[in-house]
Structure 1
Amino acid sequence: MADKYQTIATGIYAHIGGPQNVAKLIHCMTRVRITVRDDSKVDVDGLKKVPGVLGVAQEDTLQVIVGPGVVNKVAQAMVDQVGVGLGEPFPDANSSESYAAGKSAVEAKAAEVHAAQKAQLKQTWWRQALKHISAIFIPLIPAFVGAGLISGIAGILANMQTAGDLGTNWTTFITVLKVINSGLFTYLNIYVGINAAKEFKATPGLGGIIAGLIYLPGVVAPVTLPNIFTGSALVAGSGGIIGVLFAVWVMSYVEKFFHKVIPDSVDIIFSPFLTLLIVGCFTIFLVMPAAGWVSSSLVGSINWILHVGGAFAGFMLGLFFLPMVMLGLHQILTPIHLEMIKSLGNTPLLPILAMAGAGQVGAAIALWIRCRKNKQLTGMIKGALPVGVLGVGEPLIYGVSLPLGRPFITACVGGGIGGAVIGAIGGIGATSIGPSGVALIPLIANGKWLGYVFGLLAAYAGGFLATFFFGVPKSAMLAHDVEGNLINASGATVASATDASSIDVDQIMNATPVAGADTNLVATASGQLIQMSAVKDATFAQKMLGDGFAIVPNMEAIVAPADGTIISLTETKHAFTLKTDSGLELLVHMGIDTVELGGKPFNFNIKPGDHVSHGQQLGTMDLKQVQAAGKDTTVITVITNMDAVATLSQYNDGAVEVGSPVMQAHNK
């Protein structure tokens, strides 16, 4: 990519008389602004023909239009060739010594910055995997909390009904609660598939379909699909969460490949068709059987551990059950529970496995105490802890312990300690399967609920102590606000946790637009809506950068035109770029030639990586100050990657309210 920008920079120099004819160079959001020494040496016609140059405007400075996202890199390449900074005077044409010295200095600085950046980005594959897991599951935390609380209440009431403490008149209410809870957990694979596709930069809908294949929809007895490794019938649900994550990850590469090789005119037809066909078969015939083999191996291991008996068996089961939950493989234990209840009258396995969730609770309490300055983390623990006590561990696993790494391990240790206590006491079983945690107490057989409570307390204590002393990452103890922004000793926001760890703005910017998606664009300001052709700037009026709409504002508030991620904000804050969730690249430019005002009329707090919603206020523009400086206040919104747009609706001139619909773009 660097060669591309160097080529544009070299082409510009070739048609303006070389670097020696430049006195100073800066850039705004779309244009390289060059102060030339001798205008007669500028070849405007040749400059317009340089690949990558969208247009040329000659005013007080020579303005070479190359577009947002490109302009800063081209301008930097141009000053790097000379050895000066942006806005700094260029060396005199006769001072070759000054030129060489400046270039040497900038090369040394570039090498230093590159080395520092490379060292900062060095991360292990495990840390990268945790970031992906966190990004996929954190959006589901509110759903986990809500459905988990309903599940816990339903579990307690159902257990009390089974024990004879409630009458049959509660059956309907309990059933309704279970139906609501099942809205999440029955289709959890699909939700994970959609989020995984977003994280891996694939089409969310396709990710949901691939995840849904795990359920084998459409396969109704006596029809079956074969397990190609064993010849037996494939079982619906084989693979679980880990199968979904792997299949969607593979799908993201397959889809991106087809988007590259299939012509744009038929891409929307053949890319999703071929992606679903190939990855669907891969998931059904390879991913699901492989996960089934893993499941069978785990069942054999668990049976062996049960025969060992005692505290050791309890410790091993409690220790390894959390990884099984994380991988979605815990459901394979249901037949074992039912067989034990049938032959013994209760299942001694369930109370032991319930200790794994109790270890999570202890670990979360330790994190709450040690990381009390981290408002984002403690807020998440507050929401996830109640359902964790009731035996629903997913919020604590995916939202708290697993993304941090070490607390997940120490929580497992806590579960092992609780399991060892249950195993050592012996004879503690549950008469039915259901939620764990305190919700399981009414189902403990033969009046041995007190032994189960001792196990819970031991798991709480084990998870707490192991995490408090060995499982708290230093980064988690740093002060953060509720949005994840890092806070310094004086209480000021210094950085965003997502900026440093998970948001890759370049990756978002380079992501392929979502085929066939619709983007609704809203008014970025209140005022008079006008056609682009009426804008008093040739670059926008002639649509050199793309198409869109313009508003002559009568109020100062500026809002986001669509849902998306902020890619850049100029130093003078007169313009910003946004990548919509559908893949369109938007430039919002406040006023004309307002770059010359040094940012004084503008107040914006957004930063690259921020995700914004349409109609959300991003900042203000002081209209009186702009007008007093003799500048036009028109706010222009431009789609700069029009090659991704199939159709763009028209609009009529007239009064418009901020945030109201203006136009719709339909992707190819």
Structure 2
Amino acid sequence: MAEDKYSVMGQAIFDHVGGPGNVEKLIHCMTRVRMTIRDYDKVDMEGLKKIPGVLGVVEEDTLQVVIGPGAVNKVALAMVNSVGVELGETFPSESTHASNKEAVNAKAAEVHAAQKAKLKQTWWRQVLQAISGIFIPLIPVFVGAGLVSGIAAILSNLMVAGTIGKNWTDIITVLKVINGGLFSYLAIYVGINSATQFKSTPGIGGAIGAMTLLPGVVAPVTITNIFNGQPLAAGQGGIIGVIFAVWIASMVERKLHKWIPDSVDIIFTPMLTLLVVGAFTIFLVMPIAGVVSSSLVGAIQWVLSVGGAFSGFVLGLFFLPMVMFGLHQILTPIHVEMIAKLGYTPLLPILAMAGAGQVGAAIALWIRARKNKKLTGLIKGALPVGILGVGEPLIYGVTLPLGRPFITACIGGGIGGAVIGGLGNIGAIAIGPSGVALIPLIANGKWLGYVFGLLAAYAGGFVATYFFGVPKSAMVDEDEEVAVAADAPVATVSAPEPAAAKVAGKGELVATATGDLLPMDQVNDDVFSKKMVGDGFAINPSMGTVVAPADGTIVSVADTKHAIMMTTANGMELLLHLGLDTVELGGKPFTVNVKAGDTVHAGQQIALMDLDAIKQAGKQTTVITAVTNMDAVDSITPITAGKIDEGTLVQTVVTK
């Protein structure tokens, strides 16, 4: 019986979370079963991920098991029915009449779990998070300024070669000024972002960054380095010194806020912070950090020049594990420092080979495991962005869950890194992109060597995976009925889907809102960004109107109004998800203008969102449009991120 399937799946979930007694509450949204867990020590994460029909597991404030639209409500209902409670009600503990000893043990387990959660947030993880927060907002401008610099370099070379005339001088100068707007004053931007991360005044952080540029110090005036008697150089200490100095300033500022009376705090706190930390930065941080940054850059250059292909292989091999644990963020300031001192970073092209190894591994999996429609569907969605250098969908959605392909992909990355390291002197003038997207940013015309490295990494990942990295389980077709069933959810306003002829072929998706269009892999939610429930697009709306993405029929509307399911004439099954984690808002910020069974047209208004109410509730307003039956999709066009108006064509989807 169909109901048995959902009960079996629900029981399997209970078995891997420590039983119903370890669950405090259970609810579901359009794609996930959400459980409040009492003791995470009892949860078997790996076992959960292996349950047939489970698309993924996300651990946030609740434990979220991704099942997909349609089946999720039936699994959730089977789980609460087996316990004898309603959705959202508190589950009974394993013993409601526990003895004193049992109560003490339960409390000890609770404290132990809380302490374990604290230990996970180690100091070095906090450092990595801070570094990420400082540099991620700057990555788009790094890319933009780097491309401008690359154009200027090409034009300069053409002028030297006599291909273009001297009349291009002004244009080249303007391009260099545009590029210099970032890199000449990078210390100020880093100072501001550092202060924001350290919860200090951004203006003070920017001022401290500016101090390292020694404004007002014009020859013959100098400031003496107290350690060696030589004049300090503008920018000495680099970005590393700025981050450290602003961290010190944040602590000094907090202390002063406590000590200085409120009536004069606004006057004396910033003055004393700048005075004390400014002197500390100029006389101590700049000299010491200057030695550190110079030594670091020199050491990396030495390793690459001496180690050559071997160093490249090791770096390319181990970069993916660093990404998996979030350790790659520590390399960002090193890249920036090398660009400041050398004009390029030789590390980035080598490390980019790790993503290329993923691409080769994914292609091998696609060929060897072509019977596995679910896996090949994931690969189709993740491969295009992987080629462009966005490797997370391939890592977390394809190779890492399978185990062996992740290792063989790392080997491919090592092979590509060996080629780059062996050729030598291949560097990037900006950070941010990798893969094919990094080609325009390769310094000194060495892009062909970088392309050779990419091809070697593709080939290495492909060969290693094709012959050694494909598990037998990946080559077997899975029963996807549980994961992608399109039945109307329980606890939704729904009606049977009217019988309509569906003809495979071309279909078009339009923007569901006015705002900023972004690809699915950039959504701030693992379930959507890893394409566990399908591919499509997302919009951060600037207006509250939501329109239909295509001509079709409404299948169901969640009673919390945050999600709508519909189908189209060419067989697409579409999920419209209004906001992130908005199931918790109980439908209050939403007005839905359609019901199950309605026929809608692309661009027709179907809902309204109260954007301010959603933001005040601490939720994100992102509108998701996902094709949930990717196994029926033959091709889907990539999107171009940027501003967009509702009703504008976004994607073309061809079904089979």
Structure ID, larger Rg:
1
Q: TM-score, normalised by structure 1?
A: 0.43
Q: TM-score, normalised by structure 2?
A: 0.44
Q: Which protein has greater RCO, CA pairs closer than 8 Å, 6+ apart?
A: 2
